[in-house]
Structure 1
Amino acid sequence: MSVFKRLGLKQVINASGKMTALGASAVSEEVAQTLKEASQDYVDIDEIMELTGTVIAEVTGAEDGCPTSGAAAGIAISTAAVIAGKNLTHIERLPNSDGLKNQVIVQKGQQIHFGASIAQMISLGGGQVVEVGQANKVEAQHIEEAINENTAALMYIKSHHAIQKGMQPIETMIEIAKKHHIPFIIDAAAEEDFKLYIAMGADIVIYSGGKALEGPTSGFICGRKELMEACRKQYKGIGRPMKIGKEGMAGLIVALKQYADKATDVEGQLSRMKKLCNDLNGVSGLTCSVKQDEAGRDIYRATIEVDSKEAGMDAEDLLHALESGNPAIFLRHHYVNIGILSVDPRPLLKGQEDIIVKTIKLVLAQGVE
């Protein structure tokens, strides 16, 4: 029996993805053992924080790194670092950044809500958000014209939530940042390539430790050494309520060291999702196909289109019924408003796709009756 069932909570089948709301990822045995051992011992926090930064640097190819409690904390801490630097007086008065360079330029189509808003995370770090362009169209000129003596950084949000068309690419943002000698920050929370953006020339890159890495609840920042030193310094200020504990850092170190040897079973994902689609395509009102991730990642999900007239209920009703059951089945529902649900194979434990098929058929049969 799982620990959550022992606590009286219902079983959850996560077919939504590596979502914070569902606990992000299930860690490996080695990471789990590390978390246990670290929680039962003591360590100098400053020392393990510096060690974690060194390991982050080794894995990402950056000059240095900083562990965080999550990617959202990474946005706030990175923002604070480019505004306050290592000046303790400035650090201690954030998020009040009056009189400091504090404007952070973000493309309008990337001003998203991921469970909280990007703007709020920037504000926590003392940043004043400057949106440029329109929701579906940003020109390089928009970015250039927004830069002034108060600009602290340019920020790019790499996310499936963001508008994928009409935005200026990372390369353009980096070029503009370098031209004006302004730090370029990229929030790459769920991205899988930990070396790509540093190699492209980003000054600060933010990742989740609990998503692609499949580590503990955590995050990490990588980038230029002086900026990473400034990030760590923010734990004397706004970073204090976002601090990561000894267990999180120890588990993050192990997960980072494992990452290079972790195989991504794309063929296995495709095979499981094709079978699921084959099983559902015979159900009245459902059309299922396998599609690649919207943001271009090497992730293949089963996309289920629900015809409410044929199925006897709409996609939203089906979603609610699945989430209300026990086990509670959570599907990806970004497009539920247009009748589309998706199954993400990455977080599924062995055989759970069969439970999903069986439960969907049962819910629809009961709905028709």
Structure 2
Amino acid sequence: MSIYEDLGIKPIINASATLTKLGGSRMPREVLEAMNAAAGSFVDLPLLQTRVGDRIAELTRNEAAFVSSGAAAGIVLAVATLMAAPNEPDPMAYPMLEGITKNEAIVFTSQRNGYDFAIRQTGASIVECDDTLESFESAITERTACLVWFAGALAVKSPPIEDVIAIARKHRVPVLVDAAAQIPPVSNLWHYTKVLGCDGVVFSGGKGIRGPQAAGLVLGTRELIAGCRRLSSPTQGIGRPMKVGKHYRWHSRSGSAASSPITTKAIGLFSRRWSPRNRRMATSRFISPV
């Protein structure tokens, strides 16, 4: 009898996707072993967050990285940081926004969704623009903190992200991408930031990465990640409820990217369970050196 059946719950066969309501993904044995190893000691959590973030940034080819308690939590902390920029964010300023004048986030009409609340939780207002470049540019004002772009199926009716980023740069508007479910391919870990030039990108840790479901990644500029760290638990303020445990922040001690649960090993273990055709495609497209 399984641990779930002890509670009168029958495990199900997931023929859908890495949905939160179904428990996300299944973690590989190596990840579970790493979590158990990390759980056995006390540690300075802010220091651990910094050191693990530095290592993840190196593995994912980013300036900086932050482990969040899920993708939605990453959106909250990243948007709050961008609202205060170029100043250091005050954890106690949200959601009343005392002293914060950049209190608007732009979202394209076709991309509006339930995760709007992660933006609004900061106290920011959402400014909706039509799915045209002209509408986006006209929505930019001195109150604009950022554009939040929801990648994947929600973005298919929006203008090309490259053109959107060009306009945002012209007006010095930061771009934050919600790419929670956009892995694989593993190259997306650096595509939005290093290739396209977005300020930050958020991923779920419990979907394609196959880590703990209540974990996520924020990748981007040093300034953005420094703000997320300042706002996050155990600091009192907006990020205090978004706690990430020590066993969610583990990374490879061997120095090898291939042995890190959050990068190529996670994707590699996932791809080996696919069909031969998909396995060949994964090898050529997804398992790039990190």
TM-score of the two chains, using structure 2 as the length reference: 0.83
Question: Aligned residues, how many?
Answer: 264
Residue 86 of structure 1 contacts residue 229 of structure 1 at CA under 8 Å; is this kept in 2?
A: no
Percent identity between the two aligned chains: 35
**C-alpha displacement of 1:7:** 3.3
User: What root-mean-square deviation, in Å, do the aligned CA atoms of Structure 1 and Structure 2 show?
Assistant: 2.6
Distance 2:252 2:198 in 1: 22
How many Å separate the matches in 1 of 2:174 and 2:207? 26
Distance 1:106 1:88 in 2: 24
- Aligned match for 2:159, one of 142, 161, 168: 168
Three-state SS of the structure 2 residue aligned to 1:168 is: coil
Contact 1:189–1:206 (CA<8 Å) still a contact in 2?
A: yes
Residue segments in structure 2 that go unaligned for 5+ positions in a row: 254-259, 279-284
CA distance in 2, matches of 1:150, 1:175: 19
Check the 8 A contact 2:28/2:269 in 1, yes or no.
Answer: no
CA distance in 2, matches of 1:96, 1:252: 40
| CA-CA distance at 1:251 after TM superposition | 6.5
Q: Return the TM-score normalized by structure 1.
A: 0.66
Match of 1:50?
50
- Post-superposition Cα deviations, 1:32-63, rounded to whole Å, max 9, x if no partner, equal 11222222321110111012211221232110
Query: Is residue 127 from structure 1 mapped to residue 124 from structure 2 by the alignment?
Result: yes
- Cα distance in 2 for partners of 1:159, 1:89 equals 30
Q: Is it true that 1:204 corresponds to 2:200 in the alignment?
A: yes
Provide the secondary structure at the position in 2 that maps to 1:195: helix
Per the TM alignment, residue 102 of structure 1 is displaced from its structure 2 partner at its CA by: 1.4
Please give the alpha-carbon distance, in whole angstroms, between the structure 2 residues aligned to 1:43 and 1:149.
43
| C-alpha contact (below 8 Å) 2:68/2:74 kept by paired residues | yes
Q: Contact between 1:173 and 1:184, CA under 8 Å: does it hold in 2? A: no
SS in 2 for 1:12: coil
Match of 2:177 in 1: 186
Q: Name the CA shift for 1:240/1:87 in 2 (closer, same or farther; >3 Å).
A: farther
For residues 215-230 of structure 1, the aligned pairs below 5 Å read: 215-217=211-213, 218-230=215-227
Find the residue that maps to 2:13 and give its secondary structure.
strand
Shift of residue 25 of structure 1?
0.8
Q: Do structure 1's residue 110 and structure 2's residue 117 form an aligned pair?
A: no
Going by fraction, where is strand more abundant, 1 or 2?
1
Q: Distance in 2 between matches of 1:194 and 1:205?
A: 8
Q: Are 1:31 and 1:251, in contact at CA under 8 Å, matched by a contact in 2?
A: no
1:323-334 alignment, distance < 5 Å: none
Runs of 4+ aligned residues of structure 1 deviating over 6 Å after TM superposition are none
